[in-house]
């Protein structure tokens, strides 16, 4: 608990630094956030009224203090483009991205860890070379190319999967948490669950295959190091089954750096899956952030970056805690 509390004490400092940097960068970038409004007003006086309404006529230090004051109260602001509070918009945009990231992490973990373990136990054989080739391809091929190929093969040619969206048109469903897969399970709507699962499969696979390359290489190198350890030789000398040595003794210790990698990957996916969300018309946080940047919507960009930073820090904390749970040596460090 002392370790967790010491990490949590730094959370306000990190959020303040992220919020301040985002605030300053947005105002240093050339351009006027009122450009969208300028096409809807009749004269300069009306534009000045709108600018004063958003507080953009004040000195930058006054805007900064007002921004920090609202942030301390938990007020992320109101979108200039839609006039909707950002907390409401983020509650709509975050669940799709979190859901997509979680499914992608499951896919990358299953494929990456499996390929890494197989590659390590069959070192310098054709299976090892095949797994390493897959990992290199996963690291080299960009997300958007994999996404386009998946759409072309499975949506256009085979017609097995839908092209975009979260659920099929005409499918009746009820929204409770906005995690659409979870909502269908809660309501017992299995037809909606199957439709939502089909829609999330291709974007999750596109992201997961790229992440699986990192996971496979990390797992392989970590497994090879563990398999050369003395206690593994002792386990073999005692006549333990090879599968027990591999999965119970070796993988349990080799999985630690993979946990760190996946935790960081999850944080990166929350704000970095923009291209995948655009290709598959996925109404998530990355696409929402990009629209805010293009519109110079200060509240959208600032609030989204702060929420992503908070989630990233919390994921790092969770990874560190899991490290201590899995590795008993760190509990006494």
Least confident among 13-22, 119-128, 151-160, 273-282:
273-282
By three-state DSSP, how is residue 85 classified? Answer: strand
Instruction: Please tell me the pTM assigned to this model.
Output: 0.84
Q: How far apart are CA 40 and CA 26, in angstroms?
A: 23
Domain range annotation of the chain: 2-72, 95-332
95-332 fold: MetI-like fold (1.10.3720)
Q: Which of 146-150, 231-235, 300-304, 329-333 has the lowest mean pLDDT?
A: 329-333
Write out pLDDT tens, residues 169-195: 888 888 888 899 999 999 999 999 999
Which residue from 283, 23, 19 is spatially nearest to 291, judged by alpha carbons? 283
**DSSP structural state of residue 330:** G
Are the CB atoms for 274 and 290 separated by under 8 Å? yes
Distances (CA, A) of 268 to 79, 124, 201, 259, 264: 24, 33, 19, 14, 6
Q: In 3D, which of 8, 81, 13, 93 has the Cα closest to residue 320?
A: 8
pLDDT tens-digit series, residues 221-240: 988 888 888 888 888 888 88
- With tokens 């002392």, the residue in question is 2
pLDDT number for residue 170: 82
Please report the pLDDT score of residue 196 as a whole number. 92
For 158, residues 6+ apart whose C-beta sits below 8 A from its C-beta are none
Mean pLDDT of the chain: 83
Query: What pLDDT is stored for residue 212 in this prediction?
Result: 87
């Amino acid at each position: 608990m002392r370790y967790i509390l010491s990490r949590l004490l730094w959370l306000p400092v990190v959020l303040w630094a992220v919020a301040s940097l985002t605030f300053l960068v947005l105002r240093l970038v050339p351009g006027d956030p009122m450009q969208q409004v300028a096409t809807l007003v009749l004269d300069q006086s009306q534009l000045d009224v709108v600018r004063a309404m958003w507080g953009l006529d004040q000195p930058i230090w006054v805007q900064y203090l007002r921004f920090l004051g609202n942030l301390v109260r938990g007020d992320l602001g109101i979108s200039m483009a839609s006039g909707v509070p950002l907390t409401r918009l983020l509650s709509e945009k975050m669940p799709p991205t979190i859901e997509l990231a979680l499914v992608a992490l499951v896919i990358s973990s299953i494929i990456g860890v499996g390929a890494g373990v197989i590659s390590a136990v069959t070192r310098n054989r054709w299976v090892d070379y095949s797994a390493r080739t897959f990992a290199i391809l996963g690291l080299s091929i960009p997300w958007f190319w994999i996404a386009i190929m998946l759409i072309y093969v499975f949506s256009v040619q085979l017609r097995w999967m839908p092209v975009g969206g979260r659920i099929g048109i005409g499918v009746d469903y009820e929204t409770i948490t906005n995690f659409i897969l979870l909502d269908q399970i809660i309501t017992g709507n299995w037809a909606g669950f199957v439709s939502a699962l089909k829609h999330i499969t291709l974007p999750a696979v596109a992201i997961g295959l790229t992440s699986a390359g990192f996971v496979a290489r990390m797992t392989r190198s970590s497994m090879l190091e563990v398999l050369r350890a003395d206690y593994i030789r002792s386990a073999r000398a005692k006549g333990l089954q090879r599968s027990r040595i591999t999965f119970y003794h070796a993988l349990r210790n080799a999985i630690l750096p993979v946990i760190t990698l996946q935790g960081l990957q999850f944080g990166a996916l929350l704000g970095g899956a923009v291209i995948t969300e655009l290709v598959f018309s996925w109404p998530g946080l990355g696409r929402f952030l990009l629209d805010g940047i293009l519109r110079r919507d200060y509240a959208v960009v600032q609030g989204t970056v702060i929420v992503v930073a908070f989630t990233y820090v919390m994921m790092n904390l969770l990874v560190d805690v899991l490290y201590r749970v899995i590795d008993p040596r760190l509990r006494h460090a």
